[in-house]
Structure 1
Amino acid sequence: MNYEIDSNGEIKNITKGKFSRTSEGLYCHHIDEKKELKISDQLFIKRNKIPFEYQRKDRLVYCDLVEHSILHVLITKETSFEFGYPGYGAFLKPMIEVWYLDKIIPNSEWMKRCYNQSFLDSQEAFDILKEMQKTLAESYFNTILDYYEEKKRMKEESSKRELERDQYLKDDRDRLIKRAKLLHSKSPRKEIVISSYYLKYEDTTNTFYRDNACTYEDYESKMKIYTKEKILEELNIYLENLVF
């Protein structure tokens, strides 16, 4: 990082330096991450007035994903979780799991280089993760089989929730259709407009309404130029053309 300082000594602008080595599959780690959170984040640098000395070349080290993770674990332990853990828990540990346990290869070229540089087989990745968690006195799966069993269970639960959600949406739409079919010329105008809006604009199969989405307030405003009978007529035509 390069700092531009104003006349009051405040950080005015921050630009990235030319010390990246992702072409080699390596991450940049700040030695002083044990003193500040998100030391390379421009917003944090300005807000916390992080000294430029922390960004100098001699305060940077380069490491692969696994080495970077271990450094964050050591910082976390040394600082009693004050520093290091956010990067480890939210970024580094999940990435090791995704890349080497779930075997999902990243798409971007620079991440592929990082993936290859720190490559581990599944068991090696699991053993390192378990040891890092042990260092932090945090639990982890007993065996790699337990990890995959939990992933399978979570996937099944997610699929179940998705099916339940889809069924709920279908049932809700069926109720809307049934109510709309009961509307008639003496029904309140507002009920007709509401039914018309929610049936049309929540119809995910209709590309016209999906691509021209609007709020209920906007739709209600547009309908003011039409009579209740006209809106009801168009609603009935819509209902007649529904495909089940």
Structure 2
Amino acid sequence: MNIQELYDRENLSYKEYVAYLKDKYGDVVDDYYREKSYNRLLNGEIKQPTKGKFSRTVDGLITHHIKEDEYLNLSNIEWIKAFQYPYEAQAKENLVYCNLIEHAWLHMLIAEETDNKFGLPGLWVFIVPTIEDSYISEYVPAGAWRRNVYESSYLTKEEAEHFIGYLEKRVPVNHNLPQLLDDKWIDDKYPNVGKISINNKSPREKILTELFDRKYAPQFKPPKTFKDFKEFKINEFRDDLLQELDDLVKNLDDWRDDYYKPDKQ
């Protein structure tokens, strides 16, 4: 993307930038969740509400909840149930299309305008790590929709590094993040990895090491190495790796698993 397009609009407020994106991409065509099933979720009648047909990942676009300047983590089922978020926040009028880099910009503006009460966790725990994986570490994602998002948001390594530095100046990562997170986001999305001391700050290398030791070592016996395994996983995002690891450790008995864990080749 043309990153200068963002910098040229650095004086826009959150609401002004949302309006700019709606003008650029058009209105979102459907609600995020169907109202009837959403209400059934809030009442504890079902575990998963039905999503609307709003997606434009074919165009490389993400759907952002505009009211994330009032509520945290609006797409997360566990948070919706815990905090009983109103259906209004899921309505199509309160959604906007954006690419990955524009999504980061939206969360930066939210954090600034709410004194870091909202926006900051999504920015530094999910969005920025994806930008780092994609354009700095140059892990090209597998899967059609992820590839579409990758391409629509493409930055050179230098542009990505400058952009993240710009974000850090406007909403520093260490401001209130530990207080806001308390590891809750990763606990909700990946509830099992804490058993093996993986958390929201764990580097990609540590996640890969755990996956290698617990699953892939038999496939990568000498002369193959851990380096070959990393190449094998090069196109997978951090979220995908965490999900795979979370599934692996879902039912493990901590001490038994660690005792029998194979040595890395």
* Contact 2:124-2:173 within 8 A present in 1 as well: no
* Contact 1:11-1:49 within 8 A present in 2 as well: no
Q: 1:101 to 1:48 in 2, by over 3 A?
A: same
Give the secondary structure class of the aligned counterpart of 1:54.
Answer: helix
> 1:202 Cα shift?
4.7
Aligned partner (choices 110, 114, 118) of residue 153 of structure 2: 118
Structure with greater helix share of residues:
1
Taking the TM superposition and a 5 Å limit, the aligned residue runs for 1:63-78 are: 63-78=98-113
Q: Which has the larger radius of gyration?
A: 1
Give the secondary structure class of the aligned counterpart of 1:81.
Answer: coil
Amino acid corresponding to residue 47 of structure 1 in structure 2: A
Match of 2:91 in 1: 56
Cα distance in structure 2, aligned partners of 1:38 and 1:15: 17
Give the secondary structure class of the aligned counterpart of 2:165.
Answer: helix
Match of 1:10 in 2: 43
Aligned partner (choices 123, 130, 138) of residue 103 of structure 1: 138
Which consecutive residues of structure 2, in runs of 5 or more, have no partner in the other structure? 1-32, 175-202, 211-255
* Contact 1:33-1:84 within 8 A present in 2 as well: yes
Give the secondary structure class of the aligned counterpart of 1:15.
Answer: coil
Q: Deviations over 1:63-106 (max 9, x none)?
A: 00000001011111111221111111111111111111111101
Per the normalisation by structure 2, the TM-score is: 0.50
Q: 1:53 to 1:123 in 2, by over 3 A?
A: same
Match of 1:133 in 2: 168
Give the secondary structure class of the aligned counterpart of 1:28.
Answer: strand
Aligned partner (choices 57, 67, 77) of residue 22 of structure 1: 57
> 1:137 Cα shift?
3.7
Higher relative contact order (CA 8 A, sep 6+): 2
* Contact 1:99-1:115 within 8 A present in 2 as well: yes
* Contact 1:100-1:122 within 8 A present in 2 as well: yes
Cα distance in structure 1, aligned partners of 2:86 and 2:169: 33
What's the RMSD between the two structures over aligned residues?
3.0
Amino acid corresponding to residue 27 of structure 1 in structure 2: I
Which consecutive residues of structure 1, in runs of 5 or more, have no partner in the other structure? 140-153, 163-197, 206-244
Amino acid corresponding to residue 54 of structure 1 in structure 2: A
Cα distance in structure 1, aligned partners of 2:93 and 2:105: 20
Q: Deviations over 1:126-157 (max 9, x none)?
A: 11111111001458xxxxxxxxxxxxxx99x9
* Contact 2:135-2:156 within 8 A present in 1 as well: yes
Give the secondary structure class of the aligned counterpart of 2:138.
Answer: coil
> 1:57 Cα shift?
0.8
Taking the TM superposition and a 5 Å limit, the aligned residue runs for 1:1-244 are: 1-3=33-35, 4=37, 5=39, 10=43, 12-13=45-46, 14-138=49-173, 202=260, 204=262
Per the normalisation by structure 1, the TM-score is: 0.55
> 1:10 Cα shift?
3.5
Q: Deviations over 1:155-185 (max 9, x none)?
A: 9x98xx99xxxxxxxxxxxxxxxxxxxxxxx
